[in-house]
Structure 1
Amino acid sequence: MKLKKLSLNNFGRFRGEVLKLEDGINVIYGENESGKSTVHTFIRSMLFGMKRGRGRAAGNDVYSRYEPWENASWYQGRMEFTSGGKEFRLTRSFAKGAGEDELVCLTDGEILSLEDGDLSVLLGGISENVYENTVSVGQLKARTGDALAQELRNYMANYQGSNDGSLNVEAALTSLKKKRKELEQEAELQRKAGEEEKSRMYSRLSYLEQDCREAKERLERTMTERKREMFGNEVSPREVRKQQERFLTRRKYGIACAVVAVFLAVLSVMQFFGVSSLFTRLGLGISVLALIFIIYQMFRYTREEDEEIIEPEQQKIRKLNWNVEYLEKETRQKEIQCQNLREEYEEFCASLTIPAEQQENIAAVTLAMETIEKISRQQQSRVGIRLRQSISEILSELTDGKYRQVSMDDDLKIGIHSENYYVPLEKTSRGTMEQVYFALRMAVMEILCSEEEMPVLLDETFAMYDEYRLERALTWLANKKRQVVIFTCQKREEQTLDRLGIPYHKVDLSVDL
């Protein structure tokens, strides 16, 4: 990709300015406050859009800092560039509701879609993080950010030896972790629900067993009471009944004897006194009959009295027998209920485990994560070797062979090696440190931006370089034969390029564009 023309229609301090760029090295010169950083930000905003901050952050975000000084509703720019041998024109309207962005292929007139990712394809699929940490170096930002380390680790994991970094391992692992977490949460919810149901069943079983014990106790008390009523004093019910019958028989016999005795007495009196008249005999007979009737009534009354004595006892015993039958039936029912619930509880407890299918799903996701991480480590090792070699080669050229090898950990912390010793980066001079980070950016750029060669943007990147370091850096850039845009407020870069005989194109922001 090469930038051809930047049209800052209304962006920051610029209104209607057009900047033309060429192949090779471009030097955009301007004094402080002339708009160099504005142009740098314009290029990034055209390529990746401009996101608004939220809340208080919105007051000092990129959108607010570069909002046009006049006619803010017309916040717009245009860029022409080449990619894949074709020319394109990109138009963006940054103000909300100001219109749709447009991407047109000037070579064949085709209208492309930003929403469908056509611009991303032209950029080789690089992210804004990669852009800011490799090809685009802002003021005092030679050091790479943490985002670059993450992007690089992700690329290392994705890399398959054919520059294919399109798969996002971090995203894949994040997705798998999320899936496993969902499965584990689902299993945990089922486990908790099962434990709650187990607790409810146990409570019901305990209550029913207690109720069953109480029913048995009531049955035992009732049976004991019945036994006491029926078998008091260790006498059997049949014996009690016989005693009652003998008592009643003796009473009846006594009454009968009394009647016979009275009758015989009357006969004896009549014979003794020689009563023989019919009238007297008739009266005496009536008297005897009356006496017999009286005795009969006494007998009937006695029998009813006996029945009144016996019947309550019999009713009490009958009631106790009924209670015993009822309690026996109730106890049997409760025992059956207890047994059924106990079996149900035991079966439920035996089944209270994570379903086999769910366990298999969790195990499968875990295995996939472990496999990806294993392959990722292997690929990181291979790409890491390539990256260290590339950094070492670039640094060796920048330092004219003084530092020929670097070491680097997963967080991109670097140490450098000379012929005789190893030096942690933090113990080197500021100039050397800037060279190392520049070499890192360029090496990562060659890896992450290999699909589409992007222009290198350097905003006051060489401010801390001495003349020798500047010469080495500009020579290396010129030898790469790629488009370079240097933003500077000094004449050093121009003078050095002139001295080295390196051709370049100059854009002077100090003059009227």
Structure 2
Amino acid sequence: MIIDTLNITHFGRFHQASLRLSPGINVVYGENEAGKSTLHQFIQAMLFGVERLRGKASRKDEYARFQPWEQGKNYEGSMVIEHEGEMYRLTRNFYKEDEYFRVEQLRTGKEILLPGGQMDHLVDGLNRTNFRNTLSIGQLESSIDARFGLTLQAYMANVQRTKNQDIDLQRTLDYLRKEKKARFDRSPERQLQNLKVQAETMEAETDQYQKLLEEIQQQKTMLEHVRSQRQAERQTGRESRKRERQERMEAIRLIEENNYVAAQYQQKKAAYDRLKHQAAEEDFDVMKEQWDAANEEYDDLSDRYGQLMGRNLAILFSVMMFGLIPVVAVFFLKNNPLVRVGILLVFIALLAVTALLLQMGRKRMGLRVSESKENLDELHDEMEQHMFGRGGREMLRQMKEELQALREQYEQLQIPLQPYLEKYGDDISLDMEAEEDDEMLEVLRQKEESLTKSLERLFVRKETFEQKEEERESLEMDIQRLSEEVREEQEQAGIIDECMTIIRDLSEEIHSDFGPALNTEVSKMIWELTGGKYERVVVDNELNLRVDTGERFVDCDQLSTGTREQLYLALRLAMVKLLFPKKDVPVIFDDSFVFYDDRRLARTLSWIGSQGFAQVILFTCQHREMDALERMGVEYTPIYMD
């Protein structure tokens, strides 16, 4: 393929511009900012279109960079090429709203339909990737995309083995990577992890739910107990109030009877006292002194008789204690049973004699007290007989008996009345209605109300937990489903990894097939370009270069910039020969020799001229290339840009 004419209708800075190119070497000269790179880009755009990016990157993509300066909708051009003896016109409109690509055969005027608008259906091997990595060589752009190594390997393998150049290992690897990434992005694994975290949280809530059920049961039991206790308390309260009312009625009856007896006693006592004071006696004082002496004697004997009982017990206790000491000593010191029994009998006899003596003394004292009491009563009767006479004494005696009877009746009433007075106090009445709702019932009522409200809250929580339990069951089903999907995705990812491994292994095998030929071709070219300084170059499957200096292999990056540019130039042109064996394609250099000295430049241009490429297009902003070609007598076509 040879480029014949460039018709730049609207592209970048150019408007209605035209440029004719010739077979062989074309040197296009122009100063900086003359538009050389725009022409270079126009050639690529006519062959493969203008790349457009998305998002923010679209502001600086090729489409934006080379839009016509006049900002119209016309963004177009055409290019005439020659291929295998036929002339074709390529026409493109790059405007995104009306984009089209048309190929016409000039001899027949027939439009050539290229599937997908791809130029490699017209020129074998001519696609954007091959063009950028082989035919198009810019300043400081001699190095090659490492991924192009797989493309080159696949292309060579397809041509050599299957005679089909459509298989692309790099494209296959890119597809597999994208598919793996897409599967990873679509993979529910992250969603599965989130669901598992939710499930763990819900599992903890399930434990709380069980505790809640236990708490509800406890609260129910407590509530039933409180209600039963309150009901029992009510029943007990009714019975207690009934019993209390009966007790109060009985107490009131006893109090009324007690008051009646007391009133009768007071009346009788007053009459008795009046009767006693009406009497008179002559020797009352003498008899009174005798009665006082007898009464004093009686009191003294009574006191001594009362104290005698305590003193007798103290004496008996002392005798028992002092007698017990030798008994205990004998029991511990003498092992003879007879001695022990004897001493015990002596001790009992001593206690019995002592008790008998004390009892006899107490009996004698009792007789004296009785005699003193009889004497006192006789003196009292004599005083009454002397005071009242026989009739008065009989009345006085009768009144005294009545008083005694009333006193005994009063004292008898105090026995049943005293517990009621202690329980209800002196002011006893039947007014009990104010005590119906007592303190205990109020406490139980409040407790029952509190438990009821607590149960209501617990039941609300229970409903919430039951809803979450349903959600948890649904979540477990989702986890099971997603786990199965994740397992399938992992299996698919494993298959993709295996495919990628197989493709890489295949690329190694392919490289081993055509790699030696590439190494030989690059080594031959670099030997010619460097004047025999380097004669062997090794290229790996990622198109990295290493040079054999005779002592060791040196990476390309360790060499000077000029030598490195020559190495990549040799690699590119070697791949051109492999991809396009007929060399019927244009090779474009865009200020590619700025780092070459004059001798290296002359040798490189001479070698390029000797390779027999159908067309070489050399863009430059210097005259060195044309001067060197003229000195060497190499034919070329000069083109000047205004």
Match of 1:362 in 2: 489
The letter of the residue matching 1:175 is: K
Match of 1:150 in 2: 147
**Is the 1:431–1:466 contact (alpha carbons within 8 Å) kept by the matching residues of 2?**
no
The secondary structure found in structure 1 opposite 2:501 is helix
Q: How do 1:164-175 and structure 2 match up within 5 A?
A: 164-166=166-168, 168-175=171-178
Alpha carbons of structure 1 residues 371 and 364: separation in structure 2 relative to 1, 3 Å? same
Q: Distance in 1 between matches of 2:148 and 2:64?
A: 24
Q: Distance in 2 between matches of 1:357 and 1:451?
A: 56
- 2:376 counterpart of 1:377: no
The letter of the residue matching 2:616 is: V
Match of 1:395 in 2: 523
Match of 1:29 among 16, 27, 41: 27
- 2:441 counterpart of 1:438: no
- 2:606 counterpart of 1:471: yes
The secondary structure found in structure 1 opposite 2:142 is coil
The secondary structure found in structure 1 opposite 2:147 is helix
Match of 1:288 in 2: none
CA drift of 1:460 comes to: 4.5
- 2:48 counterpart of 1:48: yes
**Is the 1:124–1:452 contact (alpha carbons within 8 Å) kept by the matching residues of 2?**
no
Between structures 1 and 2, the one with greater helix share: 2
The secondary structure found in structure 1 opposite 2:130 is helix
Q: How do 1:336-351 and structure 2 match up within 5 A?
A: none
Alpha carbons of structure 1 residues 367 and 453: separation in structure 2 relative to 1, 3 Å? farther
Question: Structure 2: 5+ residue runs without aligned partners?
Answer: 254-429
**Is the 1:142–1:438 contact (alpha carbons within 8 Å) kept by the matching residues of 2?**
no
Q: Distance in 2 between matches of 1:165 and 1:457?
A: 27
Q: How do 1:280-359 and structure 2 match up within 5 A?
A: 353-354=479-480, 355-359=482-486
Alpha carbons of structure 1 residues 508 and 340: separation in structure 2 relative to 1, 3 Å? closer
Alpha carbons of structure 1 residues 155 and 353: separation in structure 2 relative to 1, 3 Å? farther
- 2:175 counterpart of 1:177: no
Q: Distance in 1 between matches of 2:39 and 2:464?
A: 85
Question: Structure 1: 5+ residue runs without aligned partners?
Answer: 256-304, 499-503
Match of 2:628 among 482, 492, 496: 492
CA drift of 1:370 comes to: 0.8
For 1:156-201, what per-residue CA distance to the aligned partner results, in whole angstroms no more than 9, with x for missing partners?
Answer: 47866545543612431332223322333x3322542464466467
**Is the 2:51–2:62 contact (alpha carbons within 8 Å) kept by the matching residues of 1?**
no
For 1:293-328, what per-residue CA distance to the aligned partner results, in whole angstroms no more than 9, with x for missing partners?
Answer: xxxxxxxxxxxx9xx99x999xx8xx99xx89x99x
Match of 2:222 in 1: 220
The letter of the residue matching 1:395 is: S
For 1:399-446, what per-residue CA distance to the aligned partner results, in whole angstroms no more than 9, with x for missing partners?
Answer: 146534323456644220144432332343444323211122123435
**Is the 2:557–2:564 contact (alpha carbons within 8 Å) kept by the matching residues of 1?**
yes
TM-score w.r.t. length of structure 1: 0.63
Q: Distance in 2 between matches of 1:8 and 1:209?
A: 83
- Size of the aligned set, in residue pairs, is 445
Alpha carbons of structure 1 residues 63 and 224: separation in structure 2 relative to 1, 3 Å? closer
The secondary structure found in structure 2 opposite 1:116 is helix
Q: Distance in 2 between matches of 1:356 and 1:204?
A: 22
Q: Distance in 2 between matches of 1:375 and 1:96?
A: 40
Q: Distance in 2 between matches of 1:452 and 1:492?
A: 24
CA drift of 1:93 comes to: 4.2
Identity %: 20
For 1:225-277, what per-residue CA distance to the aligned partner results, in whole angstroms no more than 9, with x for missing partners?
Answer: 73587499xxx99xx98xx89x99xx99xx9xxxxxxxxxxxxxxxxxxxxxx
**Is the 1:52–1:58 contact (alpha carbons within 8 Å) kept by the matching residues of 2?**
yes
Match of 2:638 in 1: 508
Q: How do 1:6-25 and structure 2 match up within 5 A?
A: 6-8=6-8, 12=13, 15=16, 17-22=18-23
Alpha carbons of structure 1 residues 336 and 508: separation in structure 2 relative to 1, 3 Å? closer
**Is the 2:590–2:619 contact (alpha carbons within 8 Å) kept by the matching residues of 1?**
yes
Q: Distance in 2 between matches of 1:408 and 1:58?
A: 32
The letter of the residue matching 1:493 is: L
**Is the 1:5–1:80 contact (alpha carbons within 8 Å) kept by the matching residues of 2?**
yes
**Is the 1:205–1:341 contact (alpha carbons within 8 Å) kept by the matching residues of 2?**
no
Match of 1:136 in 2: 136
Q: Distance in 1 between matches of 2:465 and 2:152?
A: 64
Alpha carbons of structure 1 residues 204 and 472: separation in structure 2 relative to 1, 3 Å? same
The secondary structure found in structure 2 opposite 1:5 is strand
Q: Distance in 1 between matches of 2:629 and 2:133?
A: 22
**Is the 1:19–1:507 contact (alpha carbons within 8 Å) kept by the matching residues of 2?**
no
For 1:333-352, what per-residue CA distance to the aligned partner results, in whole angstroms no more than 9, with x for missing partners?
Answer: 97998998898688678657
For 1:426-479, what per-residue CA distance to the aligned partner results, in whole angstroms no more than 9, with x for missing partners?
Answer: 34344432321112212343556679963222345456224344433432x22x
The letter of the residue matching 1:63 is: F
CA drift of 1:149 comes to: 1.8
**Is the 1:209–1:338 contact (alpha carbons within 8 Å) kept by the matching residues of 2?**
no
The letter of the residue matching 2:606 is: E
CA drift of 1:375 comes to: 1.6
The secondary structure found in structure 1 opposite 2:116 is coil
Q: Distance in 1 between matches of 2:602 and 2:571?
A: 21
- 2:80 counterpart of 1:80: yes
Alpha carbons of structure 1 residues 88 and 157: separation in structure 2 relative to 1, 3 Å? closer
Match of 2:194 in 1: 192
Whose radius of gyration is greater, 1 or 2? 2
Q: Distance in 2 between matches of 1:132 and 1:48?
A: 11
Q: Distance in 2 between matches of 1:95 and 1:165?
A: 31
Q: Distance in 1 between matches of 2:590 and 2:152?
A: 26
Q: Distance in 1 between matches of 2:66 and 2:641?
A: 26
Task: Tell me how large the CA RMSD over aligned residues is.
Answer: 5.8
For 1:470-501, what per-residue CA distance to the aligned partner results, in whole angstroms no more than 9, with x for missing partners?
Answer: 433432x22xx544334454232354364xxx
